[in-house]
Structure 1
Amino acid sequence: MPTTPVTESGDRSHGVMAVESVAQLSTVLEDTDPTLDPALGRIARQAAAEGVVLLRNDGRVLPLAHATVAVFGRVQLDWFAVGYGSGGDVKVPYVWNLVAGLRDAGVAVDGELAELYRRWCSEHPPELTGTWGQWPHHFPEMPLSAEVAAAAATRAEVAVVVIGRAAGEARDSLREPGSFELTAAERTMLDTVTAAFARTVVVLDAGNVMDLSWIADYGHRISGVLYAWQGGMEGARAVAAVLAGEIPASGKLTDTIAWSYDDYPSSANFGGRDVNVYAEDIFVGYRYFETFAPDRVQFPFGFGLGYTDFEIDPRVVQADDVAIEFSIGVRNVGTAPGKETVQVYATAPGVALSQPARVLAAFHKTGLLAPGESERVTLRVLFDELASYDDAGATGHPHAWVLEAGDYLFHVGTDVRSAATVATVTRDALRVVRQVSEAAAPVHDFSRMRVDRDDEGRARVGWEPVPRATVDRKGRIASELPPATAVTGDLGIRLDDVDEGTATLDAFVAQLDVTELADLARGDVTMHSPLGAAGNAGVLGGVTASLRDKGIRPVTTTDGPSGIRLSAYASLLPSGTALASTWNLPLVTELTALHGQEMIRKGSDVLLSPGMNIHRDPLCGRNFEYFSEDPLVTGRMAAAVVRGVQSQGVAACPKHFAANNQETNRTRNDSRVSERALREIYLRGFELCVREARPLALMTSYNQVNGVWAHYHHDLVTVILRGEWGYEGCVITDWWMEDATDPDFPALANNAYRVRAQVDVLMPGGVKTDDGPQAYADDTIVQSVAVPGGLTVGELQRGARNVLGLVRALRPVIDARTQERVG
């Protein structure tokens, strides 16, 4: 959402000086956030550490053990704790830097070099512009002479070079030095350091994938490489703990890292201001590389080293027509403790439907295993979850999820490339898993990628026309309009009476007139509503006196996903990519449950989190907020977040629904994607999250999906989300929306158009004009109800029930907070 930052700008670590020690941290918290739960900090550090991915460790240079290290690169101090925008602009009470973290972990740091960098960084502070979307992708590097590096090499055995990057909301990465690529100064620094030191470790502090092809240029001169996804306030300290071996390296990539940007299948169709054609179709990330271009992979999906070695012993326990179950033994055969993540991949036969070479089907991270210790992991894969969507009728079953006849291969290992084939299950006949109806299909012609075969049966890229929309949208909507409950006027029923069972929800809703129903369909007009905690993102529910008189509580929303964005101090948690790179679902749930407790302390009822769009392209600025290029990882991680937050009685709000994969011109851009790819890749994670964790709220995206803005998208919200997935929660817009008139129902414009799609609440509630957001609510809903062919009262009542469901679910937390304030 476009907002003005709450925190200060212009000084390091997003307005907060980095702490230097645990002792200092206690003093800092007394002045900033004495309410911070120490357990939240500990678990955040553990999660950030488990999300660090060790990409190279030649000669076991890591952990650092008793070596003295010389740390190069200004990011050792000017640490990127998070990306930019509403997803990370939290008023954080403290942030660690890497030098302080290393000293905290007991690593001997060359003090002379550290002091040189401290002085230079103090004299050349980062220029953190306050202009929205213009924040720096990197900070200019300190010039480094060969003499300084050589002198440091006389005092230290190992060099650590730190390189940092950031992007964010309205700030895509760029294919240029200082963003996706190294700068000349960073190259010079690497050249100089590797010439002086026999062993050099590179730490990448970033939220997005960047070009790493340069690693190969240095050969054995770069001994170790860590990808340290932005880990929040404890991130640098967590990276230091991994470097020192205090916490063993165990993170795994949730994206493929290719040799060049041009290798990514989306590269030719990313960055368009008005349109992005998803021509790669279902072949996103490793689905493309493992099928068509395995030689263009530098680091494969699921890859990550540790400080020990494991043996994997997969056995098939049971295989039938419903599922296949594996019992996988994991044994630590090395000399250090560690954790390992076992991954199961499946290969579908691909008879009528093109299929990727491999698709992630299940995963599990072990506990901490000592040398010689074992754990046996049970993973069960349901065949129904391997079904493919036939949008063209190639199997004879259009608009159905199907399992084709043929051999299904299963591979078990620790990344997509190394997983070995352990089982084959043959299905004798095609089976329709679920018959649905066409929804959100393309309205424009384009070609999509498919699998063709050469004379030797090897996969090569082919192309086919995408199936276009054929459904009668007007007829579909008209046939499903809900009946209205007769408006009774105020009968004295309060929402509390519904909760106590003395009145029905229908009877309560029947009291509301059109104006009150329209008020329920919007937030309190602006951000920082006086009805909620200071600095809130917006308030919905009881936004008028008449609604509050009927017992409808105001519901406070706050930005996420990396923290609670308010005027008060709040924790800055690991980014979405960092959390996903842990592959540790229980840990993420434990962390977000503590975060839910913090929400209660700070006055947040709905956290606008998790961000769960797919990493379609490495340049998307908000990738740091999101989890992965894979929908299974995305869906399971999102469900873990939602379960944790909502276990405390507050609400999570997954976002951005759907196909929000670019920040450039995001409110106007049209994502043109086949129905199959939309369902299998871009909606699949949302479906898993909705079915498994039942989030109380969900946010639409800014972009268009096949020509229709998501906040008007009846097919996405009513047909798929509510109809197919059974979602009963509250759907809200991202902040403000674009003006439009329903093409099939011209009496509906703007908010009336939105309500018909079952997007329940416009947030924060005001009107967006060419001059920017305005602090008043429009009357399109009330006007539409009054004209023939306009919005019906039944539709408004339906939306009101969705909003009131959220309000009722949050009532215990809201009432407890009110009582505490009164008391």
Structure 2
Amino acid sequence: MLKKIDFDQGLNNINLIKTSHASQKAAAEGIVLLKNENGVLPLKSGTKISVFGRSQLDYNTGGTGSGGSVNVLYVADILNSLRKKLKIKVNEELAAVYEEWIKNNPISTGLGVWAARPHFQKEMTVTSEIAAKAAEHSETALIIIGRTAGEEQDNFNGEGSYRLTQQEHLMLKNVTDVFDKTVVLLNTSNIIDMKWVDEYDIDSVLYIWQGGQEGGEAVADILCGDKCPSGRLTDTIANNYTDYPSSENFGSKEENLYREDIYVGYRYFETFAKDRVKYPFGFGLSYTDFKITCADFRIENDIVKFETAVKNVGKVSGKEVVQVYFTPPEGKINKPKIQLAAFYKTKTLLPGESHKKTVSFPMSRMSSFDDSGHTGADNRFCYCLEKGEYKVLIGKNVRDPEFCTFSFKLNETKIVKKCVSALAPHQKFTCMKGKPGGGYDYVNVPQREYDIRKRIEDNLPDRVELTIDKGYKLADVKNGKVSMDKFIGQLTIEDLACLVRGEGMGSKRVRPGTGCAFGGVSSRLLDFGIPVAAGTDGPSGLRFDNGDAASLVPIGTMLACTWNTPLVREVYKCIGGEMLANDIDLLLGPGMNIHRNPLCGRNFEYYSEDPYISGVMAGAAINGLSDKGVMGTLKHLAANNQETKRKRVNSVVSERAVREIYLKGLEYALEYSKPTAIMTSYNPLNGQWCGSNYDLTTTIIRNEFGYSGVIMTDWWASMNEIGSHVATKENTAAMLRSGTDIYMVVNDPEHNSGKDNTIRAIGSGDLTLGELQKAAKNICGLLINLPCMERESIVQRGRGALSRIKKKLIWWKC
């Protein structure tokens, strides 16, 4: 089938074909096969199939809101992708029924309201007569269940969201009653209730997630055996929603107590509730079999190393994911029984072929944060490796019965890293703690014992003396002709206050349709050679509000389920190419919040319940963008784990859980890549809104993690004074004092349309010149390394005289 597209899209079409190929590859590798009995998959040559469910044509490509609402030129749906497979035959009579029904029952878009598309679309009723007639023409049924989710609305534990509707149950019953073979595909953004798998006679189940514009092609490749399933779960699927430890403390409009503490996802289930798991973390089936062997375990300079070999012992080609876990000694610090330490994905292995690789990871990855001095008073607020036996387990998922196992013993407790206490709660609450011999209690969480105001006052940055305009341009800093301090010294307080404001949405200073402009957002700033940078929404592609098209890649969860970091890097390198072609400097993604609860509306943007895989995947995305000279923005930090009342709901979390779960992914991303932009979240964390949270942005991210780039707020965020329950959009002084650099966004930065208090706070002494100048230096340091620094006619472009070059492309896609 030849698809021909003729369009006039301007600069944003150059790299679409490359992105298309990478996207299809990633979508195929992210599909997770959970069940496959009776040899139903892959579909054999000559198989006749009947396809049920509207998602066969109305394929869910991605979530809603800023993270997924990309304008695409086409969508490869499932039905038409299957029609192109010559080895199988689609029941066209049933397909025609669906095509006519869908024509008369179009999808609901939520009346065009932002991010209001329903979780569930009306489904055609599959009567027993329809199912029986279809069974006369084919022996295999394919049922597709669709869901979506997105920004500003969480899923709910009910029919049409987390649970199946009665209509979907009826479809499953009527189809499985008459078909010998049934395959169910879950075209969803989040994991859903899976009890129905055991209620009906279903042979195969796959999470096909939301694969972007190429998702249907990837599904057809997997079903027909052109690709072998190699996706693995990055979340635990529990028997019931109430089995998730966060279920009792999720969805509040005012405050959520993170009482499960460090026991998120498999850390909880594998420690306390193994019997409540339907599908374990890391699980996924293949069309072939693999044997993993390990040897030569050693520790060199505090690095754990060993050799692995993976052999394809099955009959078809495929890839395997090697997952490395560790179990720590019980010790004095409460710990999960098992944690992920490393992983890799093999190349495609032919039957009988082997792949060898040396695996290594630092011993420090097995450490625990001692927030109470359990291992000794001097060890409080340290990461410790407790004495005792550590086991390293190498296998195919967190419960592999054939783990390769090594062990080593530490005779003394070892301090890995000393920290300053930060982000500790001031509110009393209890959290989960394991009991010796099994089970858990709830114990009091350690409270904040330091004065955050004094911490800030004792660490104020030095000011740069203000000078007259000496003619220095930002390019002089880049070229080493003048220091950043001398350049910044030329800027007046008014200039500096303008520089820390972002402009958007739809700024005329940059490419139309983008999310923000920042940098040279005034005439004076432009005269200093400060360019205007453009940022646009991600992470699943470039979102343009003016309707321009771009590529839509698989959702974050699906990319993580590939367990293939080089492939994720390739996908984002392609997105980086599209950014360059569109004069976009900064992608507002990737998102890397933890999947604390399966109902979070934006889980699709994020990667996993595990911080290690989250951080590694985010790092791969940043590296891919960096390969093209552009940059991404790691977001939303921190403990932003629900959409309900996201701008005010307080996340109350222990310091240990913040460090080991909710910021650990960022720490890993900084280890594996060099990001220069981070976005804070809307919510307060332990009472302090994240856009003005000094411990978050300065004490930990900058001072402890060593990050030196820009930190921005989320769009139209609010900030509060320490100890105040009132947060406002105007309080940029609190933002700057915390170490956050840019307020996103206002309509007119040059004339302070947002009426922020930066200049007033300088005058009153509530903000120092040094704090404001530090933010300016961070912003200019980012701009120097973005493409905007080299674009022609910076001044003209910044003053709104952008002339778009129109191009035409005839694009053939088979």
TM-score by length of 2: 0.94
Matched, 1:507 2:486: yes
Matches within 5 A, 1:649-664: 649-664=629-644
1:485 counterpart residue number: 464
Give the letter for the 2:464 counterpart.
T
Displacement of 1:302 in angstroms is 0.2
Distance across 1 between alignment mates of 2:725 and 2:256: 27
Displacement of 1:317 in angstroms is 3.2
SS of the equivalent of 1:722 reads: helix
Displacement of 1:98 in angstroms is 0.6
SS of the equivalent of 2:153 reads: coil
1:518 counterpart residue number: 497
Identify the range of structure 1 (126-135 vs 335-344) with the bigger mean alpha-carbon deviation.
Answer: 126-135
SS of the equivalent of 1:815 reads: coil
Give the letter for the 1:464 counterpart.
V
1:428 counterpart residue number: 411
Displacement of 1:133 in angstroms is 4.2
Displacement of 1:369 in angstroms is 0.5
Matches within 5 A, 1:407-422: 407-418=389-400, 420=403, 422=405
Q: Deviations over 1:655-689 (max 9, x none)?
A: 00111100000000111111001000000001111
Q: Of residues 116, 119, 122 in structure 1, which corresponds to 2:97? A: 116
Distance across 1 between alignment mates of 2:192 and 2:149: 11
Q: 1:811 to 1:127 in 2, by over 3 A?
A: closer
1:181 counterpart residue number: 163
1:786 counterpart residue number: 763
Distance across 1 between alignment mates of 2:129 and 2:71: 40
Displacement of 1:392 in angstroms is 1.3
Matched, 1:548 2:530: no
Matched, 1:610 2:593: no
Give the letter for the 2:425 counterpart.
P
Q: Of residues 517, 533, 542 in structure 1, which corresponds to 2:511? A: 533
Distance across 2 between alignment mates of 1:354 and 1:490: 58
Displacement of 1:691 in angstroms is 2.7
Distance across 2 between alignment mates of 1:294 and 1:783: 57
Q: Of residues 167, 171, 177 in structure 1, which corresponds to 2:153? A: 171
Displacement of 1:321 in angstroms is 6.4
Give the letter for the 1:426 counterpart.
K
2:812 counterpart residue number: none
Matches within 5 A, 1:394-793: 394-396=374-376, 397-418=379-400, 420=403, 422-453=405-436, 457=437, 459-524=438-503, 526-566=504-544, 567=546, 568-743=548-723, 750-765=731-746, 776-787=753-764, 789-793=765-769
SS of the equivalent of 2:743 reads: coil
Distance across 2 between alignment mates of 1:612 and 1:355: 23
Q: 1:786 to 1:289 in 2, by over 3 A?
A: same
Distance across 2 between alignment mates of 1:775 and 1:487: 22
Give the letter for the 1:669 counterpart.
V
Identify the range of structure 1 (384-393 vs 505-514) with the bigger mean alpha-carbon deviation.
Answer: 384-393
2:785 counterpart residue number: 809
Check the 8 A contact 1:287/1:358 in 2, yes or no. yes
Q: 1:139 to 1:232 in 2, by over 3 A?
A: same
Check the 8 A contact 2:292/2:310 in 1, yes or no. yes
Q: Deviations over 1:429-475 (max 9, x none)?
A: 0011110110001111111111113xxx3x20222100011111111
Displacement of 1:744 in angstroms is 9.1
Check the 8 A contact 1:736/1:766 in 2, yes or no. no
Check the 8 A contact 2:237/2:278 in 1, yes or no. yes
Matched, 1:286 2:266: yes
Distance across 2 between alignment mates of 1:817 and 1:256: 52
Displacement of 1:277 in angstroms is 0.6
Q: 1:284 to 1:28 in 2, by over 3 A?
A: farther
Matched, 1:354 2:331: no
Identify the range of structure 1 (805-814 vs 130-139) with the bigger mean alpha-carbon deviation.
Answer: 805-814
TM-score by length of 1: 0.93
Q: Of residues 96, 107, 115 in structure 2, which corresponds to 1:126? A: 107
SS of the equivalent of 1:668 reads: coil
SS of the equivalent of 2:461 reads: coil
| Structure 2: runs of 5+ lacking an equivalent | 806-814
Q: 1:813 to 1:93 in 2, by over 3 A?
A: farther
Q: Deviations over 1:763-812 (max 9, x none)?
A: 113599xxxxx99232400011111x321111111110100011101146
Check the 8 A contact 2:505/2:514 in 1, yes or no. yes
SS of the equivalent of 2:602 reads: helix
1:15 counterpart residue number: none
1:3 counterpart residue number: none
Distance across 1 between alignment mates of 2:141 and 2:15: 35
Q: 1:705 to 1:811 in 2, by over 3 A?
A: same
SS of the equivalent of 1:425 reads: strand
2:179 counterpart residue number: 197
Displacement of 1:323 in angstroms is 2.4
Q: 1:746 to 1:433 in 2, by over 3 A?
A: same
| Structure 1: runs of 5+ lacking an equivalent | 1-20, 769-773
Distance across 2 between alignment mates of 1:817 and 1:87: 31
Distance across 1 between alignment mates of 2:7 and 2:752: 36
Distance across 1 between alignment mates of 2:543 and 2:32: 28
1:390 counterpart residue number: 370
Distance across 1 between alignment mates of 2:44 and 2:595: 36
Q: 1:764 to 1:612 in 2, by over 3 A?
A: same
Displacement of 1:39 in angstroms is 2.0
Q: Deviations over 1:690-715 (max 9, x none)?
A: 23211111100011111100000000
* Count of matched residue positions in the alignment of Structure 1 and Structure 2: 788
Distance across 1 between alignment mates of 2:129 and 2:250: 44
2:809 counterpart residue number: none
Check the 8 A contact 1:649/1:813 in 2, yes or no. no
Distance across 2 between alignment mates of 1:378 and 1:808: 38
Matches within 5 A, 1:126-165: 126-129=107-110, 130-165=112-147
Give the letter for the 2:387 counterpart.
A
Matches within 5 A, 1:12-161: 21=1, 23-24=2-3, 26-27=4-5, 34-66=13-45, 67-106=47-86, 107-129=88-110, 130-161=112-143
SS of the equivalent of 2:38 reads: helix
Displacement of 1:155 in angstroms is 1.2
The share of aligned pairs that are identical, in percent, is: 43
Give the letter for the 1:333 counterpart.
V
Give the letter for the 1:352 counterpart.
K
Distance across 2 between alignment mates of 1:336 and 1:498: 57
